[in-house]
Amino acid sequence: MSDAIPSSTPSTRSRPGGGAVIWHYARQAGVLAALILLVVVSSFLNDRFLSLPNLMNVLRQVSIVGILAVGMTFVILTKGIDLSVGSILGVSVVLFAGLMESLGMAVSIALGLLAAMALGLTNGLGVAFAGVPPFIMTLGMLSFARGLAFIYTGGTPVPILDERFYELGNGYSFGVPNPTLIFLAVLLISGFVLALTPFGRSVYAIGSNEDASRLSGVPVSLYKTIVYVISGGVAGVAGLVYASQLSVGTPIAGQAYELDAIAAVVVGGTSLFGGRGSVAGTLIGTLIIGVLANILNLTGVDPFVQQLFKGALIVIAVMIMARSSRA
């Protein structure tokens, strides 16, 4: 019943709601505090950790998963999931590599990104109009798109010879790695769209209550389609960085990246039940996972053991959040 909330008089009615608001920020702040704690502990564990080159290295390393995670945030906010981003990244990578020699850099980039968006569009149409559950639709796409990447390359990696293309993934601008700048650009644009446009507002609404959104006149199916196009397109952008860093188009590019992206989103406080979260949280989640991996590397922890840490981190983060939303 609605009056379960402890409210009695007009003057004290404010308390429960006020608590909820504070709690909301506390959760965001909690994730940030976890990151800060991790950084502080790491700086004591290893004196190379806080060095500028190492920090830039962390930022560069998290960029690809970070970019994917930002696109994933849109999807998860609508209560969906996109398991196919790693495979879509793979398709875009082999297209960039395969088309560059014959069509030139600009055209191959455009076509690779368009292909990624087209695969995302397929996901979106399947989910929003054919009514396929997001998990199933994108699980199918995970396999399908990976298959496309293998068919296109015949299974062998395609080298990229245009050296200007290497800059994108390996170069620096203003002292910051280019991939990190791309990540931050994607992040800022997304944050802006989510917070300040009717579309962004509606994404939250759809995740919070799809039926109510539809009744309010929100074009639910269209917007749900668009979030998968965004997720696919953004996977293409991540593919750009990937192809440039490796200077080779391999059909196995991005395998299992979808799981890292989901982990970053969830650790960043975005709810898998939709309607709650932000790309700011996703940034923090990405950094937590990146910093953890970095300090484990620096301190020479066995890579196999690192997996345990990452797995435990994800579960503990979600446990804490589940507890807080029940309160």
Q: Name the site residues for other proteins (rule: CB under 8 A).
A: 1-10, 12-21, 24, 196-198, 201-202, 204-205, 208-209, 211-219, 271, 275-276
Q: Minimum CB separation from other proteins for residue 196, in Å?
A: 5
DSSP assignment of 249-293 equals: E-TTTTTTHHHHHHHHHHHTT--TTSS---HHHHHHHHHHHHHHH
Minimum gap (Å) between residue 143 Cβ and other proteins:
31
- Supply the minimum distance, in Å, between the C-beta of residue 64 and other proteins: 29
Between 126 and 277, CB nearer to other proteins: 277
Helix axes 178-196, 279-298, angle to 10 degrees: 150
Smallest gap from Cβ 193 to other proteins, in A, equals: 10
Q: What are phi and psi of 98, to 5 degrees?
A: -70, -30
State in angstroms the smallest separation of the CB of 121 from other proteins: 21
The smaller minimum CB distance to other proteins, of residues 11 and 102, is found at 11
Q: And the tokens for 36?
A: 């800060």
Nearer to other proteins, 201 or 310 (CB): 201
Whole-number Å distance between alpha carbons of 240 and 181: 13
Q: Which is nearer to other proteins, 3 or 47 (CB)?
A: 3
What is the rounded distance in angstroms from the CA atom of residue 231 to the CA atom of residue 92? 13
Beta-sheet pairing, 172-173 with 248-249? unpaired
Residue type, 271: S
When the beta carbons of 214 and 310 are compared against other proteins, the nearer one is: 214
